Amino acid sequence: MKSKYSVKIRNYLIEKTYMGIGMDGQPKPQYYFHRTISSLLNTFFKNGFHLDAMEEPAFNKTDNTDTIFLNVFKSIPPALVCRMRKVK
């Protein structure tokens, strides 16, 4: 049987701050600040920056079955990386 992985997103348009655990064994909760992509980027656009590059990096395929994080995120990018430059 082959496992299937996905990312489930609910209430994406509701911006909020909350406390949560980032990894097992963490001594205390940390802050999370959920914002939409447009909210984040518009802050830069309003301050004279423009977006000139964007990447959605993923981890390379791994055969290490002990590292489930790497196996899950080999086809689901864990980050969106944007390059912003100040407009002159």
What is the pTM (predicted TM-score) of this model? 0.68
Q: For residues 2-19, give the mean pLDDT.
A: 88
DSSP bridge pairs for 20:
30
User: What does the domain layout of the chain look like in residue ranges?
Assistant: 12-47, 49-88
Contact 62, 70 (CB under 8 A): yes
End-to-end CA distance of the chain: 56
Tens of pLDDT along 29-85?
A: 999 999 999 999 999 999 999 999 999 987 776 666 566 666 666 778 888 999 999
